[in-house]
Every structure is written in C-alpha cells, then in structure tokens.
Structure 1
Amino acid sequence: MASNWEALAARKRQDLLNSIPDEWRIPRDLLPPESQEDVTDFPKTSGWFTREELDITECTALELLPKLASGELQSETVTRAFCKRAAAAHQLTNCLSETCFERAISTANSLDEHLARTGKPLGPLHGLPISLKDNFNLLGLDSTVGFTSHIGDPAKYDAVLADVLRAAGAIFYVKTNVPTAMMIAESVNNTFGRTVNPLNRKLTSGGSSGGESALIAFKGSPLGVGTDIGGSLRIPAACTGLFTLRPSFGRFPTLRCRSGMPGQEAVHSVNGPLTRSLADLEAYSKIVVDSEPWLVDPRCLPIPWRSVSLPCKLKIAVLWDDGMALPTPPVTRALKTVVQKLKDAGHEVCDWSSVDQREGASLLSRMFVADGGEAIRRELERMGEPWRPEMKMYEEAKSLTGFEYWQLHLERQAYQKRYLDRWLAAGIDAILCPTTPYSSVENGKFKHVGYTGVYNVLDYSCISFPTRLTVDRSVDRPLGDDYEPMTDLDKQIQIEYNAEAVHGMPINLQLVAQRLEEEKCVEMCKVILGIMS
C-alpha cells in the first residue's frame, strides 16, 4: 500500500470533479486566467449565471428564509442556484471535498411538496442549503479529513448536528476541504491539495475550515458550519472577512463527527457557523440551541439561548500583542481604530497584558502532541502517505506517559483559574484582540495560532468579525529597521509581511467573552459594528 496513496488521491479528485454535472462546469472560454487573483466577481461578470441565480446567491440566509417559508422562492430553485455557485467556487478555489447534489435537489423537492401540502414550513431553516466542513459525517459520503486512508470509507451515520439541522429544514449539498487531520492553519492536504482564497488566490483562505471560508466568501453557500480546536473557525473567517462564533464546549452538538486525532479531549473541538452577516450568525446559533441539543448529545449543556442586557458602558480590555508575535501593520491599525471608536462612544478601554499568553499557547501545543503524533502517524502509514512539512511538530513529537498527561491537565486547570481570577479582578466585559497576526497571508506562509489557541485552552466564547477596514499598502507599510522583534517567530512574520500582496484584503479582529457567554459576545459585537458604521 506504500505506493498507492497518490493513485487513490488522484482518483478521489477525479471523482469529485466528475460529480459536478456538465451544466455546472465553467466553459473553458469563460474561465478566469490563473493569474487573476480576485475571482469573487466571476458570477456577476461572466454572463454564465442567470439573473435569478445571482439574485438568490447574493442573499444572506435571513433574506432567503422568509421567502422559502412563504413559498415565494422554491427550495429546489434556491438549492440549484447554490449548487451551481458552489461548483464554480470549487473550480476556481478547490474548496470542496464532497458533493451530494442529486440528494440535495431531491430533499428540496420534498420540502416544496411539504409546504404546498401543509401550508407550513418544515422548520426555521426550511429549504435553506447549508454547507458542512468535511469532518461532519453524512451517510454514504467520505469524511477524509485530509487523509488518503479514509478514501472509500463512507459514513454509516450522520453527525448529530446534521440531524438537528435537517430537522430544522436545512439541505446539505456539499462538504468542504480541510488540511491533513485538520491540524494546519491553511487548508492543504495530500488528497485534495490546497484551497485558495477567492478574494486573492495567491493568499490562503485559512484552516482548518478554509474550504468553508472560501466557499462562503465566493457566495457559494449562504451559511456554513466549521469546527475550531485552535482557531480553525476564526482564522479562516479572518482570512476572508467573514463572521464566526467559537462557542464554549457544550453549546452546540459535536457527537458523531470524524476527528483527525480521535480521543484527544484535553482541548475540545467545537463547531460553529461561518456567515457573511452577524444577524445570520445569531439566527443560526439560536436555532441550534433552541432545538435542545442536550437531548441528542449527552455532552451538550441544557442552556437555552438567552437574552442579554449589556451595561450602557462596556469595559473592554485590549490585547495589543501576545508577547510572541506582533500583529502585522494593518491589524494593529484596525485595533487602534476600533479602540478610538470605543472611547469616542463612551466605553471604557484598558490594556490587557500578554503575561499569560505564552503559557496558554504552550499548553495548547503540548496537549496536541501528547500522543507523540501517533494518531496522525498511523493514518499516514496505512497508505504510505508522507508527512506534510507543516506537520513537523507532530512528526517529531515524543509521547507523554499517562502520569505526565495528568500533570498537564493540572497545569491547564491552574492556568484557567489564574486567567479567570485576573479577568474578574479587572472587571472587564471582553477582550479585544487580533484574530491572527495577519489580514490574510500568502499561501504557505501562515504562522502562529497563539491569538486564537489560547482561548481554546480557556474554552472562552469568541467572535471573529470584519472591521469594515481593508489593507492599504500606502498606509500599512512594513515596520522599519529599528523595530526589535520579540521573538524569532515575530521577526519572521514581520520580514515576510507583504503589503502589496494583501492590499485591499478585509481586516478582522477577535472579541473574547467569558466561558458560555455566546449571547453576550454577539451583543457586544453588535455594539462594535454599530460604532464602526
């Protein structure tokens, strides 16, 4: 089997391409040249999409849902439009891992018939196509999570979240690409290759939910679901200018998904929405929680979606840097801009020291490799698949003994307690900080997940949100020669910063609330968006 992985991967890629009907394959004479960086306008400018298809796929989820519920729009029509746009997105960015177009259209027809027969929508997501990250099991489809060893091993059941969404009326039509084992901050693997950013194909769409972010940024999905164990939702959202919520463990169901490192629970993987609007994010979250997922996933907490009243004056702590890597100039400018807007609006702003960030990042990486990389190694060796260079940390890791692993858990608990005490002593409502050091970055150059991963260790609620600012190469110039880097990592990030390459890209920031404060996180994000408008 040691020489078989390449043939398996090639066949899988061809099967994926073959699953796209001829009618949804971009005509050769309309394909943008490979040198074209931004392909997000292709649907509008190519003449290949009908006016109706464009009108549908330009809508947000909340714009579509009332039209679907009333019958103004047929679910089949909406589903076909998003299937076509998703197919185009894949041909231009390599964002998909699975399709189930026929199944989706059949489901849409059934929903249309239900509405015509009963006069009532099936549920709050009636007829809405929703895309899922590759690791969400759907019956009969592979969940490779980037491994060739999982090719031809279709799921025998659906993920619990899929059950919840389907009961609410959602339609599944595609699954999206991820990195190997979902443990790289860019979506690249030996099976499907690299997903690129539709806003600029020379840049990364992030990872590990980078297939989702590319698809949604291209408007090939009105709403998608990804997962986050060290930043895997927030990083892709930042790279493509989307909204996402990293919930605390227990708010959304996680049962029956495929893991890249099954059994690793020192840091829990959670799932959440990727959307183009905060309203869509909030609506999705409320629908999932209101479905009472604790009745189908024993690890979900019986906490309904709650209304939150914010104080008139918020107290926001600002983490300007994490002591390991200074944000690149556009991210620092965005932070300064938002901070000034907060002050002008009468909110209290204070600095948040980076004193605890390094230990949190260290805990994250040590827990990820506690098995010595064995879970990943076994899957690679099954097909003779090589280690990707981005996974050197796992390839070279040494396993801990059971006792050493328990001691690591004790360190984590002490760290969580110290951070909580510091938060409460400061009396803050939230931390405002970078999502990553970058707006986005050139393919293959993403480094450092410390800004996100620390909050996975703490299990805090986080939103990555677009600031409505974009990179300006004339303003966001590289730091001068007089800048003294904090670390070798910092030095490399600043040296590689290319203002020309990321010019015009959206700039996201991260808002962090306490554990299980998803509702408050959403409301505080509304405040920030309000002062930025």
Structure 2
Amino acid sequence: MPATITIASGATWEEVAADRQRHRDISLASFKPSLLNLPASSIPADATAIPRSILTAQDVEITEKNVEDLVLMLASGRWSAKTVVQAFMRRAALAQQLTNCVTELLPEQALKRAAELDDHLAATRKPIGPLHGVPISVKEHIGMKGLDLNAGFVGWVGRVAEEDAHILQILWAAGAVFYVRTTQPQTLMHLETSNNLYGTTVNPYNTTLTAGGSSGGEGAIITLRGSILGIGGGSIRSPAANNGVFGFKPTALRLPVGGWSATMTGADHIVPTIGPLSTSLEGVLLFVRTILHARPWLKEPSLVPIPWKDEVQLGEEGKGIKLRIGVIWDDEVVRPHPPVVAALSQVVEKLRGSNEVEVMDWQCYKHDLAWDIIAKLYFCDGGAEEKAAIDASGEPLRPLSKWILEENPHVQEHTISTLWQAHRERDAYRASYAAVWNERGVDVILCPVGPGVAPKLDTSRYWGYTAQWNLLNYPAVVFPTGIKVGRDTPGVGTEDLDAHEYPADYKPMSSADAYNYGLWKEHGVKGYAGAPVSLQLVGRMYEDEKLLRALDILLDAAGLAKTC
C-alpha cells in the first residue's frame, strides 16, 4: 500500500520516518508466527550465533543451505516453496532485530507466489525455471510494483513503482520469490548504510561496525542467512566484504538497471551497476547466468548484447600458464590495516605454492589521480539533485552525506566544456591503464576491498579500493578469506598481525592515509574484533565470465571455501 503520511500530505520528516518504521514493524508482525522481540540489551556485539539458538531445527536446516543446494531441494519437491520462504521470512525478521537491515517484509505476496509455484510443480512435475522457489531479497531502491520507492530520501516517500524493475521481471520468470526489502543510505552514496527513515544498519559480526554500503542491508541479512541470494546496486563489494559474503559488481551495461530509483538517473559519466550478493560463488554464477540467458538487451537496449560465455581463455596460449594474477598490496595512497595485509599475505603465499597460477606484484598506476577524476564526475550538477532531495523534507544530512557532498573538494557544478574536459581525462586514464595492463599481461588483479575491515560507524571516508575500478568500468568480485580479526583462525594469529603492523616510525602517504592510520591506532584489534577479512579480484571490461572463472581457480589454488 502506498504511503499516505508524506511530506506532500503536510507531515514533518520525523513523522514520515516514524510512519515508515511503523509500516516496517507491521509488515514483520503480520507474518505468523512472528518472533518475540529481542531486547536490545540481550544482543551481543557478535550476533551471528543468535539465529541458531532461536529458530527451529528445520528453519536452520533450510536457511543454511546455499542457493545451489536449495535449488535441488525445491525442484525435486522435497521442500515446498511455501516451507522455504516461511523459514527465510522468520530468519529475515530476526536479522532485522539484530542489525536493522529490513525496510519491509512481504509475507502476503511471498506466500501467494510460493503457493503458485507449489501448484505448478505438483501439476507438471517440472520447476518453472532455474530459480524455482528460491527466495531473493531486494534492496529497496529496486522498484517493486505498487510499493514505496524512496531511495533513502524522506522527501521521496510516497513515490510508487508502476511495475517491477526489469531485473526482477527476469528473476520472477525464472521462478524466484521476493519476500523482503532491505536498507540503503541517504543519497545512495555511502560506503555505509544510514538514513533518516530507518537509522543505521550495523554489522552482524560486530555491531559497533558498519555493514557497508550502499547495499548494507543486503550484506547484513545475507550474513545472518535471512537471505542467501540478494540484489544490490552501487557498491556491492563494500557490504559483501564487510560481512564476509560473496559479491559481484559486473561491467556496467551488462545487467539491467531499468526500474530502480536514484538521483542523477540518466547521467552516464560513471555508469552505475546492479549485481548479486550471495553465500556462495555458485549463487553469484547462477544469478548472472539466469539474467544473461534472458537476453535483457532486447528490452533494455542500452545494455551491451553479450550473452553468457561458458568458455573463457586464461593465461597466455602456449606457455602452460592457466592463470596470471597481479597483486596490489596497497594503492600508494592508503595502506590497508594490518588484518587486510596479513590475510592478503596468507592468500598470496598459498597461491605461490600452487601450480595452477603465476603471481606477480602489481605496481599501481596513478590511483590518486583516479580518485581526483571520478570524484568530480560523481556529482556533475554540484550535488544539486542530491541536496534538493534532502531539502524537500528538511531532513538533516547524515555524517557521510555531509562528507561526500559538502566536504569533498572535487564536487563542482560542471559547464558543458568542463564536463567534456572531465570526460577526456576519464577516457585518457582508462587508455593509460589499459596500456599498463597490456604490457604486464595478467588475467586478473588481486587486491584489498578497502583500507581495512568493516569500519567503525560514520568513518568510511576512503573509497579508492572500489572507486578505482568504477572509473575504469572493470568488473570485480569480492570473496571471504575465512579470517576474522582477533579470532583463532588456522594459519593466522596474533603473530601474523604483529608481523604486518605499521612500523613504529610510520609516515602516512597522504591525508587519507593519516586518517586511516589514526583509526587503527585508536581502535586496533579489539575495536574491529570479529570482523571478517575479504579480498577483491578484478578483471578487464566485459571479461566478467573470465573473472568469475579466475576466482574459482584462485579459491581452489589457495584452499579457500566457495561458500561462507
């Protein structure tokens, strides 16, 4: 039902936010049997063990399957779609209480859809499609017919999607069930998830840390297995990394974005992307294959018509090398915190001992310049549309909105000539980076996802490790290493972190590095305890399938799990 308490109806921003929270809570309570509310005082900093202690054995069994296993159970009829989606709705409701990751539960729609799928399977003995009965969580700014589409702005509450977003239409035809919508930040331009409608989404492993952004709701709900496959947009990699799940940012214009809501739609200076987060690599692969097999470019002609490719070329022909990996230890702007360096060292050491890959260090090419270029292309109207969306309700700027819009020295209102010049700089940088890659001849680049693990709330101020690849429009995939800060993980202990500590006489490389260094000195291992350490693999433009195949090989070579 569309919101009736809106700025247009004369409500204050606080009244609109309170109504949206009531709506969320009613949607959660409408699912029966609903879970008892957990008192905030009973939630530990690490909330990941709570679902198993509360849910039934069957609910735990269902929700702890990965997508590839759940598909088989549903297609065979061993579990009904209704039973499965009920289990995930219960766990999603619990995830909301633990991390504040949900904007709306959809029990009526989900149960109706599940019944249709069960009836079809009973009548035909065939699943509807490759995702028959699979519950998929959806970030709120991806339009769902008849539902609110506010994109994290109080002033946009009351906008309603006229139809499902294109990507949802494809997933629906493949048999998916949509049952929950998840949180996003004000402006959709944070590496955290914080807005004035619902507040802050926190990290399940350490609730003093962020779940990332802008798809932090997806990252948190998937970590707690209130979902095992979800749709994010924008920086999919930040929430995937912060929460220790798999996340894939494709090359822009490969997966459909029609029907989502955001400011600056129509701008093509830096084209945004949409992609999956999942508890398994196979979940990511199934999602992407399903979308591309539907040939979305026929409906959304701005997409590049590249079908899914099963066969890809790795390494150099005739040299017997299956995979060549370049390694970025730091981007020469900000040195990552010790847990990230330690995990990267562990993975690279294992790769060097494998016959499947060749590893070489990657000397970064002007990554500081890359930020200068992309930062002035993010808001080509000087942030006017973002500020107007915020000012429409009188809601205050969140801390990271203020940082990126008002404290970012690169924000400018472009003229036609300055915009053309910025495009020339972008294209020249892309050409220069391509030349460097051609010279070095690697297949993929292995690197950090950020300057540390999941940051403390309101401190995510360095985007270079993800924005770099946005500027170049390179696909990138995030994977968990299995290492958590301050945990006794085989192969990594306190001595490993000590070996990668900052030198006593460390001199920061930049002001951004000084800020990041200060965070580590202030909080250290105890402050980030429990946070998972993830890494990022990057490929060249339109080599998405090659990148995902490379990750599969890397995980085998490093002895890492393909599930989390």
Q: 1:380 to 1:34 in 2, by over 3 A?
A: farther
Amino acid of the structure 2 residue aligned with 1:332: V
Amino acid of the structure 1 residue aligned with 2:368: R
C-alpha deviation, 1:531, in angstroms: 2.2
C-alpha deviation, 1:35, in angstroms: 5.5
Amino acid of the structure 2 residue aligned with 1:181: T
The answer to whether the aligner puts 1:96 opposite 2:102 as a matched pair is: yes
The answer to whether the aligner puts 1:517 opposite 2:525 as a matched pair is: no
Determine the C-alpha separation between the residues in 2 that align with 1:414 and 1:161: 33
Number of the residue aligned with 1:152:
158
Residue of 382, 392, 395 corresponding to 2:406: 395
Number of the residue aligned with 1:318:
327
The answer to whether the aligner puts 1:371 opposite 2:384 as a matched pair is: no
Residue of 322, 331, 344 corresponding to 1:335: 344
Number of the residue aligned with 2:47:
39
C-alpha deviation, 1:126, in angstroms: 0.6
Instruction: Please say if residues 183 and 215 of structure 2, whose CA atoms lie closer than 8 Å, have aligned partners that are also in contact.
Output: yes
Counting matched residue pairs gives 527
Instruction: Please say if residues 247 and 460 of structure 1, whose CA atoms lie closer than 8 Å, have aligned partners that are also in contact.
Output: yes
Residue of 143, 166, 169 corresponding to 1:163: 169
Determine the C-alpha separation between the residues in 1 that align with 2:510 and 2:69: 47
Determine the C-alpha separation between the residues in 2 that align with 1:407 and 1:34: 55
Determine the C-alpha separation between the residues in 2 that align with 1:464 and 1:225: 15
Determine the C-alpha separation between the residues in 1 that align with 2:41 and 2:466: 35
Amino acid of the structure 2 residue aligned with 1:128: V
C-alpha deviation, 1:34, in angstroms: 5.2
Amino acid of the structure 2 residue aligned with 1:486: M
Number of the residue aligned with 2:121:
115
Instruction: Please say if residues 32 and 39 of structure 1, whose CA atoms lie closer than 8 Å, have aligned partners that are also in contact.
Output: no
Amino acid of the structure 1 residue aligned with 2:406: E
Instruction: Please say if residues 23 and 104 of structure 2, whose CA atoms lie closer than 8 Å, have aligned partners that are also in contact.
Output: no
Residue segments in structure 1 that go unaligned for 5+ positions in a row: none
Number of the residue aligned with 2:517:
494
Amino acid of the structure 1 residue aligned with 2:48: T
Amino acid of the structure 1 residue aligned with 2:94: A
C-alpha deviation, 1:161, in angstroms: 0.2
Amino acid of the structure 2 residue aligned with 1:344: G
Number of the residue aligned with 1:124:
130
Instruction: Please say if residues 98 and 142 of structure 1, whose CA atoms lie closer than 8 Å, have aligned partners that are also in contact.
Output: no
Number of the residue aligned with 2:507:
484
Residue of 187, 198, 209 corresponding to 1:181: 187
The answer to whether the aligner puts 1:383 opposite 2:393 as a matched pair is: yes
Secondary structure of 2:527 counterpart: coil
Number of the residue aligned with 2:15:
7
Amino acid of the structure 1 residue aligned with 2:325: I
- After superposition, the C-alpha distances for 1:305-359 in whole angstroms (9 at most, x for unaligned) are 1122434342211111112110100111112122222211143222222232111
Q: 1:19 to 1:61 in 2, by over 3 A?
A: same
Instruction: Please say if residues 165 and 288 of structure 1, whose CA atoms lie closer than 8 Å, have aligned partners that are also in contact.
Output: yes
Amino acid of the structure 2 residue aligned with 1:44: R
Greater alpha carbon shift after TM alignment, 2-11 vs 189-198: 2-11
Residue of 209, 233, 252 corresponding to 1:249: 252
Determine the C-alpha separation between the residues in 1 that align with 2:349 and 2:437: 22
Instruction: Please say if residues 206 and 530 of structure 2, whose CA atoms lie closer than 8 Å, have aligned partners that are also in contact.
Output: no
Amino acid of the structure 1 residue aligned with 2:251: S
Secondary structure of 1:456 counterpart: helix
Determine the C-alpha separation between the residues in 2 that align with 1:272 and 1:302: 17
Number of the residue aligned with 2:265:
262
Determine the C-alpha separation between the residues in 1 that align with 2:278 and 2:220: 11
Identical amino acids, percent of aligned pairs: 38
C-alpha deviation, 1:369, in angstroms: 2.1
Number of the residue aligned with 1:54:
60
- After superposition, the C-alpha distances for 1:146-168 in whole angstroms (9 at most, x for unaligned) are 10012122211110001000010
Number of the residue aligned with 1:459:
473
Secondary structure of 1:500 counterpart: helix
Amino acid of the structure 1 residue aligned with 2:381: D
- After superposition, the C-alpha distances for 1:415-465 in whole angstroms (9 at most, x for unaligned) are 111111110011111111101111212222222110111111111111111
C-alpha deviation, 1:103, in angstroms: 0.5
Determine the C-alpha separation between the residues in 1 that align with 2:76 and 2:43: 44
Amino acid of the structure 2 residue aligned with 1:425: E
Instruction: Please say if residues 320 and 332 of structure 1, whose CA atoms lie closer than 8 Å, have aligned partners that are also in contact.
Output: yes
Determine the C-alpha separation between the residues in 2 that align with 1:398 and 1:421: 30
- After superposition, the C-alpha distances for 1:460-516 in whole angstroms (9 at most, x for unaligned) are 111111122222373425524311110121112112122112233221111111111
TM-score (norm 1): 0.95
Residue of 209, 213, 235 corresponding to 1:207: 213
